Chain A
Amino acid sequence: DVKVTQSSRYLVKRTGEKVFLECVQDMDHENMFWYRQDPGLGLRLIYFSYDVKMKEKGDIPEGYSVSREKKERFSLILESASTNQTSMYLCASREGSLHEKLFFGSGTQLSVL
């Protein structure tokens, strides 16, 4: 079974802190994604990566950056966390074809105080 692992289930950080959310997949998938989920807004794409060191902005990249140094790992970075970044963060991966489904991690609930 494909496994997408997010390093933390719950995280509490202070305003202004630099925050790293880590995601690892074990199926050699080309594409990896970071979404945030907020009530009433669904899943919104922050960043995605279609290959090592390649990244593209999603719909809401402001305040975030990403890193993909190895194929299996995709990190989301909040350079200076703010309270409006309190949210559920979901990582996902898939093969490169547009017909392929996403496999999701279990999510990280981030609270910024």
Chain B
Amino acid sequence: AQKITQTQPGMFVQEKEAVTLDCTYDTSDQSYGLFWYKQPSSGEMIFLIYQGSYDEQNATEGRYSLNFQKARKSANLVISASQLGDSAMYFCAMSYSSASKIIFGSGTRLSIRP
């Protein structure tokens, strides 16, 4: 069965530090995609970064990078130089080729301390 697991319900990080949010996935599909979304207190869902299963390089978008370890089935989000505005819920998600759907993890609430 396809599954996304986020084991950190909440994290506190000091401003300007780097932070890693964990995500592991389970799928038997060879072709799949991994996404990270941010949800601030306003409730909107903001797309951050995408990694395809056949991409050889880790995806990067500004301060966000995705540490993709295919053999370990992990797709951790790394935020460099955290800012107060990074305080939000973060969701890892997966799409896979055997179905048109996207499934999400339970999320991590990140709080940045000034």
Residues of A within 8 A of B (CB): 31, 33, 35, 40-45, 48, 50, 56, 58-59, 88, 90, 92, 94, 96, 98-99, 101-102, 104, 106-107
Contacts and interface: CB of A to CB of B under 8 A. Distances in A.
B91 interface: yes
Contacts of A35: 104
Contact of B103 (A45, A104, A106, A107): A45
Prevailing SS type, chain A contact patch: strand
Contacts of B100: 31, 48, 50, 56, 96, 98
Given A41-B106, A45-B101, A58-B101, 12 more contacts: A33-B102, A43-B93, A43-B104, A43-B107, A48-B100, A48-B101, A56-B99, A56-B100, A59-B103, A99-B52, A102-B102, A106-B44
12 contacts: A42-B91, A42-B107, A59-B103, A90-B45, A92-B45, A98-B31, A98-B33, A98-B97, A99-B50, A99-B95, A101-B35, A102-B37
Contacts of A94: 102
B67 interface: no
A107 B6 contact: no
B106 A40 contact: yes
Interface of B: 6, 9, 31-33, 35, 37, 43-45, 47, 50, 52, 91, 93, 95-97, 99-107
A41 B43 CA distance: 15
Given A31-B100, A48-B100, A98-B31, A104 B106 contact: no
